[in-house]
């Protein structure tokens, strides 16, 4: 009789059925011939801490945590790295010697996607405009600050939320602008990132006039369903380089896979196509 000792990992969320992470990690497991599983874990918000604490006992090498468990992941871990602490959320948990380590790979995923998608067009030496001040915005802001942008202009419908984010993370490099001033805030920008849910399937469109934005600014939407959002289409129509959000999802998965399964996987065109096809079927 053969004995197997497959490596286990998964993604916790509520709901979890829409997550593409099992498809992404499943693709890499197959490609690298690894004896392992990456499973969707449907975990209710009130049971997140218990479920996370159970990971070592169940023999898991770790897990991703997605909405709404990214805060619970931070609180339930034995150790939190500096990056996850700054962002205030963890999306990747790694079990080592029975202890749970929490990190956040969203910032790295965002920046890697932006660099890959924009190439030489990417200008990080001019102000970046970030729309939104939720969880996704925190990862984007940390990534941009660490990448050295001189200033972030943070624009959110609820101004208080932007002020709080700026005070916590800004180190004097974040300027808050009012939602009503969002069109004017684009003047002089080298980069525009939408981290709000507007423009997503089933959500209202993002109403933004790009007329004041420089022609060489790069535009990135972290929304990836649809892949071509109204914002990206409008940016492309006036000649700006536009980068979609799917790559952020793909690239944030890389460090987790490496930590659990021991191989650094690649974000290939084939993988991207598989996810694009899957998005089209829903
Ligand atoms: P996430 O973790 O994905 O960032 P979130 O924390 O719920 O999700 O944040 C959603 C973001 O989209 C917020 O910046 C939110 O603005 P508020 O802070 O004012 O709520 C923004 N957003 C969602 N719907 C919006 C709308 N109709 N108009 C303007 N902003 C909107």
Query: 16 is written with which tokens?
Result: 């979890």
How far are the Cα atoms of 73, 135, 157 from residue 65, in angstroms, in the given order? 7, 13, 27
Bridge partners for 128 per DSSP: 152, 191
Predicted pLDDT of residue 7: 98
pLDDT tens per residue, range 112-142: 999 999 999 999 999 999 999 999 999 999 9
The count of other CB atoms within 10 Å of the CB of residue 161 is 16
| Residue 204 Cα: closest atom of ligand 1 | 27
Q: What is the pTM of this model?
A: 0.96
* Three-state SS at 152: strand
Active centre residues (catalytic): 70
Spell out which residues line ligand 1, taking CB within 6 angstroms: 132-137, 156-158, 161, 195-198, 204
Predicted pLDDT of residue 2: 67
Predicted pLDDT of residue 89: 96
Pocket residue to mutate for ligand 1, from 132, 180, 204, 207, most atoms within 8 A of Cβ: 132
Which domains does the chain possess? 7-105+253-278 (3.40.50.10860), 107-247 (3.40.50.720)
């Amino acid at each position: 009789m053969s004995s197997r000792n497959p490596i286990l990992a998964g993604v916790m969320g509520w709901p979890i059925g829409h997550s593409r992470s099992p498809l992404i990690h499943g693709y890499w497991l197959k490609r690298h011939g690894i004896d392992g599983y990456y499973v969707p874990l449907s975990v209710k918000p009130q049971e997140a801490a218990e479920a996370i604490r159970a990971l070592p006992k169940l023999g898991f090498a770790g897990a991703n945590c997605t909405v709404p468990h990214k805060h619970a992941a931070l609180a339930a871990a034995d150790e939190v790295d500096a990056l996850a602490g700054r962002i205030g959320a963890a999306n990747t948990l790694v079990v080592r010697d029975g202890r749970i380590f929490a990190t956040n790979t969203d910032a790295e995923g965002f920046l890697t996607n932006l660099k890959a998608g924009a190439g030489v067009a990417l200008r990080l030496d001019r102000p970046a405009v970030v729309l939104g001040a939720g969880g996704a915005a925190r990862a984007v802001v940390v990534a941009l600050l660490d990448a050295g942008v001189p200033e972030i202009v943070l624009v959110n419908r609820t101004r208080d939320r932007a002020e709080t984010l700026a005070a916590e993370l800004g180190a004097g490099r974040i300027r808050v602008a009012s939602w009503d001033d969002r069109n004017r805030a684009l003047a002089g920008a080298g980069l525009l990132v939408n981290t709000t849910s507007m423009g997503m399937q089933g959500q209202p469109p993002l109403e933004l006039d790009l007329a004041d934005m420089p022609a060489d600014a790069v535009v990135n939407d972290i929304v990836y369903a649809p892949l071509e959002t109204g914002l990206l289409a409008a940016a492309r129509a006036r000649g700006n380089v536009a980068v979609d959000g799917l790559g952020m999802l793909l690239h944030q998965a890389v460090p987790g896979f490496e930590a659990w399964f021991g191989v650094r996987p690649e974000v290939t065109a084939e993988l991207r196509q598989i996810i694009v096809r899957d998005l089209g079927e829903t």
